[in-house]
Structure formats: structure tokens, C-alpha cells
Amino acid sequence: MSFLLKLTPNTCDFYDATQSLVHCIFWTRKEMSRGIGETAEGVAATMSILSKLRCITVDVTGTLIAYKGELGDYYCMAAKSVGLPCPDYKRVHEGFKFAYKDMARKNPCFGYATKMPNVEWWKTCVRDSFTRAGYDYDKETFEKVFRRIYSSFGSSAPYTVFPDSQPFLSWVHEQGLKVGIISNAEYRYRDVILPALNLNQGSEWDFGVFSGLEGVEKPDPKIYKIALERAGNIAPEEVLHIGDSMRKDYLPAKSVGMHALLLDRFKTPDAEEWRKSGAIVLPDLMAAKDWLTSEKSTC
């Protein structure tokens, strides 16, 4: 007895029920097996990058926190506290930029290599900032002004936490991932400033790599290799780094094999060039969360 068996268009069009049915079933099983494999490959190709990660590292300033006000605000308050007039904001700002750059060149990583105490590093930098701005205070007066400035920047006062920082870090932990911090900062970020901002090691983040404590700073790829070791020797392809600098965050992280993306919280003119170069650029950490769980995420 013969009948038409038609499973799919252009396949298994047989008219002999006793022979062709067996052949069709065998052929269909092979095709199904291949189809399942192809489907699995397709699913793997569209899975979110989150499923491939074991750790996310983040920059601090510009990514988790930002400065409040201007540098001149704090220098002005310090000067007024000892009865001095407020220094010119622009001149102090320009003086600080040159002084900081000079100190970083002569005594990198906040004096790590030259064994310069942190407080002395900042005292030299602040004194030079004032001098370059045209303010030459006597030693006693400067000491009072400096103590006020050093104390301010060693507290939570000059900083604000972006509203999405803590929710994002909590969400990363909920996914079972480690959180690491990679920052060009001295020890007070780890020991004083971040805890004062309720960004605590053990809850918001698991480990930190701070240039002033390691003797290496971004964009040196070594600081990212230290982070991989600190995370438990995790493979670089299982780590995503989030920062706000193409030069200090994105490029060195990618150079060691990590995934990377950039935040453009302040609409920097450079962001368009970052995108053109192929970087993932997002406005904030909530956008990063959405991107991480998207099937289209890739970097």
C-alpha cells in the first residue's frame, strides 16, 4: 500500500510507504540532530556576555564617584579658615594641574618608588600649586592651609556617589560575580574615602588594586594583571572592566585580554571617537546592566 509522506517542503517526498518511510525517519533524525546543533550554536552566539563572566572590575572617579564643586572651593575654604582671602579659582586650578603632573612624573604612584610619605607627596604638590598660582605663604601659614586641604580630600566631603553605583554593584554580586576596583589612587581611597561613601570592601566590592599601594598605575597593563591575580587568577576573557578613559581603562584592559566598556557620564566630546574606534560607550551603569543582559552584548 502506498501513500504520500511529506514532512517538510522539498524533503521526504516519498510514495513507497514500506521503504521510504524508514529512509525518511532516518534522514529526519540526522537533520534534527544537525538542526539541534545549529540551534545550540545559534543560542551560544546570542547569549549575553554576562554568562561568560566571573568578575567585573570598575574604575572609581568618573565611574563610581565624582568630585563635588571645584578644586578652588576647597582651597578657598582652607585659606579663609586662617584669615586669608580666597585665592583665584582659575589660577589655582591651572597651578594644580601643572604641580600634579610634575609630582606624578618625579614621584609616580604617590611616591611609592621613591618611598615618599603620602602626606609629603601631597604637601609638595599643594605648595607648588599655590606657588604657581602666585601665592607664596610663609611656612606656618601654609601648614595650616595644607592641613585643612589634606583633611578635606581625605574625607567624603569633596565626593559624591553616582546614584546607580551601589545598585549596580549589588546586582553584579547577585549574579554571582566578583567585583574589583582598579584605581590610580592612594591608600586613603581604600581605607577612608570609599568606606566613608558607603562603598565598602566585603559588601560593595571584593578586592581593590590602587596605584599608590601597588607601585604601578593605569595605563600600565601590569595593574590589570595584578587585578586578575587578585581576583583568583581568573582568565582575562572572564573579566569585564568598566571605566571612563579610553587611554587608562579601555585600551590597557583589552591589551591583556579582558573585555571592556566605557562610561560617558559627562558627554565628553571624545565619546564619538571612542565609538568609531569600536568601543562600547554607555551613559551610566544602569545602561551597562541592560547591555550586559542583552543578547546582543559583545565586546
122-135 pLDDT tens trace: 999 999 999 999 99
Work out the percent of the chain whose per-residue pLDDT is above 90.
82
Rounded average pLDDT over 25-50: 44
- Cis status of the peptide bond prior to 195, with omega within 30 of 0: no
CA torsion sign for 46, 47, 52, 54 is positive
In this prediction, residue 295 carries a pLDDT of 64
Most confident of 46-50, 53-57, 294-298: 53-57
| Residue 47 pLDDT | 64
Lowest mean pLDDT among 18-32, 186-200, 270-284: 18-32
Residue 16 pLDDT: 33
| Residue 29 reports pLDDT greater than 70 | no
pLDDT band with cut points at 50, 70 and 90 for residue 4: very low
Q: Give Cα 248 to chain centroid, integer Å.
A: 10
- Least confident piece of the model among 38-47, 75-84, 251-260: 38-47
Q: Which helix (H) or strand (E) holds 106?
A: helix 89-106
Q: List the one residue out of 282, 277, 290, 249 whose CA is nearest residue 265.
A: 282
For the chain, give the mean pLDDT.
Answer: 87
* pTM recorded for the entire structure: 0.82
What is the pLDDT at residue 296? 62
Contact 162, 65 (CB under 8 A): yes
Least trusted range by pLDDT, from 20-29, 80-89, 166-175, 234-243? 20-29
